[in-house]
């Protein structure tokens, strides 16, 4: 993952440009090779606890020594859940995100570190995370022409291929042209307040319009994270708010995107309304693994949320009416103030 330049550069910018780390005590949850801990030390941290449960902690220690930060960074080979509560820090840093944000992630450990070790008013890097979805073609998954295998047709293999790909979510990098709709937010996480229960099961009904024609093959998931906003009163801090985006519209990361396929292809035209329900839940209460269930809904008969941005004429009218009511209420408030 050190070769994942967008990932590592985002953390480096967020840590070194904010000026929040100067003379602070930091905890790096899941430190790995220690690269984030080194960034924190480079940014002026007074003390960094690099917490790593695996044997790679010994490599992190060597990296710390080689870069002359042994007086700042203390590598601890331990689960964060086993640390003494007496350790208190000003900032938590962690690259905790998994595939489609939650699968095999370390969010539970970060929540534990926040509740047990973060001082009041402390910061968490990253601070916010969102999980997004869109309709897609999945052309990178279907590269074999089963109608011409050395001059012979093998259409039955196409069926077996689809069944195999549907057995589990596929991690693949899509191109912009594979995306058939605008994106919809499924989940927003505030790391200052999220609980383990909040992310144990997520269910979302999505109503969405295609923005171009194409072969609709599935639903694609990706996430982005946003780091804390720099202190405006600190003249040395950069004004940049750093975000790491794993969408098909951004440089490729090791997370790529996650695709859930339908059993069959479907041709769609621009403006078609599509509806589905997406469920993400832990495979068991103690697991970091998630299962995904995707169910197709009838956009014509299913009750839409209010307001709804699916693009249908009915929903557009309702949304415009609500926006007009909000504008009128604001006008009334202004008259009351005057």
Residues annotated as part of the active site? 95, 104
Cβ atoms of residues 45 and 24 within 8 Å: yes
DSSP E strands, 227-334? 243-245, 257-268, 273-282, 290-297
**Cα gap 306→318, rounded to integer Å:** 8
Give the separation between CA 305 and CA 289, rounded to whole angstroms: 30
**HEC profile of 50-74:** EECCCCCHHHHHHHHHHCCCCCCEE
Instruction: For residue 73, list its beta bridge partners.
Output: 48
Bridge-partner residues for 257, per DSSP?
A: 172
Q: Closest Cα partner for 110 from 180, 207, 36? A: 36
CB atoms within 10 A of CB 66: 10
Residue 48 in 3-state DSSP? Answer: strand
State yes or no: cis peptide before 306, omega within 30 of 0.
no
Residue 315, helix vs strand vs coil: helix
From residue 302, alpha-carbon distances to 24, 276, 297 in Å are 52, 10, 7
Contact criterion met (CB below 8 Å) for 226 and 18: no
């Amino acid at each position: 993952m050190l070769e994942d330049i967008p990932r590592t550069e985002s953390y480096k910018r967020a840590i070194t440009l904010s000026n929040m780390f100067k003379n602070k005590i930091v905890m790096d949850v899941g430190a790995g090779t220690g690269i984030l801990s080194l960034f924190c030390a480079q940014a002026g941290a007074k003390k960094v606890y690099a917490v790593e449960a695996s044997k790679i902690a010994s490599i992190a220690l060597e990296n710390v020594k080689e870069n002359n930060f042994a007086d700042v960074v203390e590598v601890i080979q331990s689960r964060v859940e086993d640390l003494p509560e007496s350790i208190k820090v000003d900032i938590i840093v962690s690259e905790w995100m998994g595939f489609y944000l939650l699968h095999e992630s370390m969010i539970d450990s970060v929540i534990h570190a926040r509740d047990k070790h973060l001082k009041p008013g402390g910061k968490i890097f990253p601070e916010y995370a969102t999980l997004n979805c869109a309709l897609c073609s999945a052309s990178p998954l279907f590269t074999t022409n089963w109608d011409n295998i050395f001059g012979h047709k093998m259409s039955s293999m196409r069926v077996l291929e689809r069944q195999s790909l549907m057995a589990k979510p596929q991690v693949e990098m899509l191109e912009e042209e594979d995306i058939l709709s605008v994106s919809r937010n499924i989940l927003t996480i505030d790391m200052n307040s999220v609980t383990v229960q909040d992310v144990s099961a997520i269910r979302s009904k999505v109503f969405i319009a295609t923005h171009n024609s194409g072969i609709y093959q599935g639903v694609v998931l990706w996430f982005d994270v946003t780091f804390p906003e720099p202190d405006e009163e600190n003249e040395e801090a950069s004004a940049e708010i750093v975000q790491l985006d794993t969408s098909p519209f951004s440089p490729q990361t090791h997370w790529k995107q996650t695709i859930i396929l339908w059993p069959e292809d479907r041709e769609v035209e621009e403006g078609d309304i599509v509806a589905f329900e997406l469920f993400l839940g832990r495979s068991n209460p103690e697991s970091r693994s998630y299962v995904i269930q995707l169910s197709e809904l009838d956009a014509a008969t299913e009750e839409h949320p209010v307001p709804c941005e699916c693009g249908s004429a009915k929903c557009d009218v309702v949304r415009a009416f609500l926006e007009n009511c909000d504008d009128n209420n604001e006008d009334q408030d202004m008259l009351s103030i005057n």
